[in-house]
Structure 1
């Protein structure tokens, strides 16, 4: 399956470097713990970071921590997010739970992740084939193909 993507911008590279600094400064070490750092950019250009809290019960992912940091700092509209693995693993795509949260809260956000063409910028909508929107008021809605037509 081919997904629509675009090449990285200078701002995208800056976001990756920010996430890399977070994970390098806060990694849990070489003991097999998969530490991830994340960075998210608000539409105003501000960057917010997060680090995962690895736990055998499934602690919060770095992306969710970064989203919480942005929200707590007053950011409501976000443009781009990336997660970077420790020990030089580079950008990593979001897990299914993170994809659904991003899709529900920030349907216009772009995600930086590895693709067949290298690390690229991809719309969250393109990572959610047949995605169903969830809201507090209405729960999960039926698949709406019009969500995926604004290319």
Structure 2
């Protein structure tokens, strides 16, 4: 899912996959840039939405060069919690890979919806 080999461009160092409720899979890669660039999870969620998948169920991110499953950054956690509160995220734990609810991954998160009331 990524294309940054040793000595490569380093622009795409993470890949992500999203499983939608209709069973379709959608992929995305990050875009590294000094301004922050989008993370692979958000690109994959955007690709799913662009393809008409409105109810993502599970997301996972992996690092290039065999780095395996990578847990989402704080920004991605907040975006996913705000946009898809029923989403499950596959994370790496000391006991191995595990699927958990985004709310469990981001307890005590900022509640964007409540703040708009």
Q: Normalising to structure 1: TM-score of the pair?
A: 0.71
Work out whether 1:28 is the aligned partner of 2:9: no
Paired residue for 1:82?
60
Give the alignment of 1:1-151 within 5 angstroms.
22-23=1-2, 27-31=3-7, 33=10, 35-135=13-113, 139=115
Change in 2 beyond 3 A, CA 1:139/1:73: farther
Q: CA deviation at 1:75?
A: 1.1
**Which protein is bigger by CA-based radius of gyration?**
1
Task: State the distance in 2 between where 1:88 and 1:49 align.
Answer: 17
SS in 2 for 1:64: helix
Q: Normalising to structure 2: TM-score of the pair?
A: 0.90
Task: State the distance in 1 between where 2:47 and 2:71 align.
Answer: 20
Paired residue for 1:149?
none
Q: CA deviation at 1:31?
A: 3.1
Q: CA deviation at 1:88?
A: 0.2
RMSD: 1.7
Gaps of 5+ in 2: none
Gaps of 5+ in 1: 1-21, 142-151
